[in-house]
Amino acid sequence: MSVPPEPDVTEVAAASPAVAPSLLDAVRDLRRDIDATAFPLEISGVDAARVSRTRLLDQLTDHLLPRLEKLSAPAIVVLAGSTGAGKSTLVNSLLRAEVSAAGVLRPTTRQPVIAFHPDDDELLAGHPVLEAVKIVRHASVPRGIALLDAPDLDSVLESNRDTAHRLFEAADLWLFVTTVARYGDALSWQVLAGAMERGASVAMVLNRVPADSLVTVRGDLLGRLRERGMQGVPLFVVPDAGPHEGLLSPASVAPIMRWLTMLAGPDRARSVILRTLRGSLAALRPWVDAQAEAVQDQVDAASEVRDEVGRILVVPAQTAVAAVLAGAVADGPVRARWAELAAGAGPFARVVRPSGRIRGSRRSAARVRESAVAPLLEDLRRSASAALQGAGAAAERALRDGLGGAGAPGGAPALVASWAPDVRAAAREAGATRLAAAWIENADREVRSALQASGAREAKRSARVVRSLGVGGLTAVVLAAAAGLEPAHELLLSLVPGAETALLGAVRAGLVDGAREQVTREGAALERLLDVPDLADDAASRLRLRLAVLKDLT
């Protein structure tokens, strides 16, 4: 069996753009990312970048993508030819599936059937050719082409001129199917010539050719094509399968399938699209590059603002630490409450005898004294909270001053202007309250573990202290001393001589850490305004990646 030489498909392919999903997808991805790009910081050049983004988006949405989608739409391959030529059988045999009914009754196919790959659904959506045809989605159709099995043209013309017209208009490629008995018909050649005049590409299938006449018939047909100036038309010869049901052998239709697959090939289709859109696609690159640069400028500006926040907060942090070490938490109500509790019969009065011995006590009396101390703990908690809030507020003021004025990094003034003060104040109050409560709780833990850790001699003394003041009472003394209250400090040293280094140091450090923490939180709150994807370190790489993909494809 002689197989016809593979036809030269260059010309046909050039006129029949097929799908290039990768390029279309790349441009769609690019559009989505440009759409998602924001320039949140008001830095110099941002207005131009925003205008450019809008224009780029319009260009992609209104011009480039529609054109690309149109060019990427699958090529419509119409199988035409006289009734009984075997068009439906051929379609089924190419796809190895019964997508179009074939049969002995003439004519069999009354309504055109179009078959395409399910993934091409979206690309064909709204195509006018779909209106009057039966649609079959089948995965064995190569992506990028749609096979349309038409009724024979005479009957189409008789029954429905509209449908015929639409088929003629839609066809990117006519696969003209004829037989040995019919290829001489005048009508066939008229239709062929008409299709070529309209600029459609044409290929011919000589079907059901008996083995003994194969060579002769093929030669004769090639001669006729040459006579009419159609020597470029690819010709496929399919040997007669004899009386049969169902599909032709895969081998007999393989050359046609190979050729269709080649038509649909993404590389070839891409070259067609590129020829058409090369200018527009090339113009995109510097444009996208400039957008990526503008995004990088935003990222750099954000990191400058972060650095500046760190620099600005050095002084407020030092001031806050100095203030608590200087006794800010001990002033006011705490001092007054202490005086009250240390006077007369108060729990802190005469705890240590002039001899140095600790006042002995019954348990019940210690409990009374411990509860009398509770208001002092509450005063300490409130005072610590107020001091921490004050430190935070000072840090916020420093940030607003430092970032809001002339000489601040680009974008910073607008950023602090958008920083809502009331929200911040409420969050700060809650944060300071928690930090102060944690300070008290930690002190309680420190005291308890110090009591347990003390050696034999100290243990006796500790036990007396606890009997006299309760753990709560001792904790209050330690806290007040750590806050800087002098009389509390003195009492603590006379109660627990070794307290200065370990216990007192730890509780004081807790207060200092809280002050630092409160200042840090102000900076963190401001920096959260910079926590958007567009200002992340790698924000520009998204567009650069799109650019690289586009470069690879064009």
Q: Which residues bind ligand GTP (CB under 6 A)?
A: 83-89, 102-104, 106-109, 151-152, 208, 240-243
| Number of neighbouring beta carbons within 10 Å of residue 471 | 15
Is residue 107 reached through a cis peptide bond, with omega within 30 degrees of 0 on the bond before it? Answer: yes
Rounded to 5°, angle at Cα 120 from 117 and 126: 125
Q: How far apart are CA 209 and CA 215, in angstroms?
A: 10
Q: How far is the CB of 89 from ligand GTP (least distance, A)?
A: 3
Q: Which of 88, 383 has the CB closer to Mg ion?
A: 88
Give which of Mg ion, ligand GTP, none residue 217 binds (C-beta under 5 to 8 Å, depending on kind).
none
Give which of Mg ion, ligand GTP, none residue 361 binds (C-beta under 5 to 8 Å, depending on kind).
none
Give which of ligand GTP, Mg ion, none residue 241 binds (C-beta under 5 to 8 Å, depending on kind).
ligand GTP
Q: Which of 16, 92 has the CB closer to Mg ion?
A: 92
Q: Which of 66, 250 has the CB closer to ligand GTP?
A: 250
Under 8 Å between Cβ of 338 and 480: yes
Give which of ligand GTP, Mg ion, none residue 31 binds (C-beta under 5 to 8 Å, depending on kind).
none
Give which of Mg ion, ligand GTP, none residue 240 binds (C-beta under 5 to 8 Å, depending on kind).
ligand GTP
Q: Applying CB under 5 A, which residues contact Mg ion?
A: 87-88, 108-109
Give which of Mg ion, ligand GTP, none residue 117 binds (C-beta under 5 to 8 Å, depending on kind).
none
Q: Which of 87, 428 has the CB closer to ligand GTP?
A: 87
Q: How far is the CB of 262 from ligand GTP (least distance, A)?
A: 24
Sign of CA dihedral 352, 449, 376, 499: positive
Query: How far is the CA of 22 from the CAs of 19, 280, 488, 545, 553, in angstroms?
Result: 9, 17, 77, 14, 8
Closest by CA to 351, choosing from 339, 338, 360, 364, is 360
Closest by CA to 488, choosing from 338, 360, 376, is 338
Q: How far is the CB of 239 from ligand GTP (least distance, A)?
A: 7
**Encoding tokens for residue 254?**
């393989």
Q: How far is the CB of 105 from Mg ion (least distance, A)?
A: 10
**Encoding tokens for residue 502?**
């370990």
Give which of Mg ion, ligand GTP, none residue 472 binds (C-beta under 5 to 8 Å, depending on kind).
none
Long-range own/partner contacts, residues 440-445 (CB < 8 A, 24 or more apart): 440/377, 440/380, 440/381, 440/384, 440/475, 440/479, 442/507, 442/510, 443/475, 443/478, 443/479, 443/482, 443/507, 443/510, 444/471, 444/472, 444/475
Give which of ligand GTP, Mg ion, none residue 85 binds (C-beta under 5 to 8 Å, depending on kind).
ligand GTP
Q: Which of 99, 483 has the CB closer to ligand GTP?
A: 99
Closest by CA to 261, choosing from 378, 438, 142, is 142
Q: Which of 87, 335 has the CB closer to Mg ion?
A: 87
- Dump strand ranges (E) for 131-280: 134-137, 145-149, 173-179, 201-209, 235-239
Q: Which of 1, 104 has the CB closer to ligand GTP?
A: 104
Under 8 Å between Cβ of 174 and 195: yes
Q: How far apart are CA 313 and CA 525, in angstroms?
A: 13
Q: Which of 237, 530 has the CB closer to ligand GTP?
A: 237
Q: Which of 152, 446 has the CB closer to ligand GTP?
A: 152
Query: How far is the CA of 91 from the CAs of 26, 78, 150, 200, 319, in angstroms?
Result: 33, 10, 10, 20, 85
Q: How far is the CB of 30 from Mg ion (least distance, A)?
A: 44
Give which of Mg ion, ligand GTP, none residue 70 binds (C-beta under 5 to 8 Å, depending on kind).
none
Under 8 Å between Cβ of 303 and 49: no
In sequence order, which residues have a C-beta less than 8 Å from that of residue 224 and are 6 or more positions away?
A: 183, 189
Q: How far apart are CA 83 and CA 529, in angstroms?
A: 72
What's the distance, CA 323 to chain centroid? 47
Q: Which of 85, 515 has the CB closer to Mg ion?
A: 85
Q: Which of 87, 542 has the CB closer to Mg ion?
A: 87
Q: How far is the CB of 127 from Mg ion (least distance, A)?
A: 22
Closest by CA to 70, choosing from 108, 6, 27, is 27
Q: How far is the CB of 84 from ligand GTP (least distance, A)?
A: 5
Q: How far is the CB of 113 from Mg ion (least distance, A)?
A: 8
* Rg for the chain, CA atoms, rounded: 44
Give which of Mg ion, ligand GTP, none residue 385 binds (C-beta under 5 to 8 Å, depending on kind).
none
Give which of Mg ion, ligand GTP, none residue 104 binds (C-beta under 5 to 8 Å, depending on kind).
ligand GTP
Q: How far is the CB of 181 from Mg ion (least distance, A)?
A: 17
Q: How far is the CB of 276 from Mg ion (least distance, A)?
A: 35
Q: How far is the CB of 182 from ligand GTP (least distance, A)?
A: 10
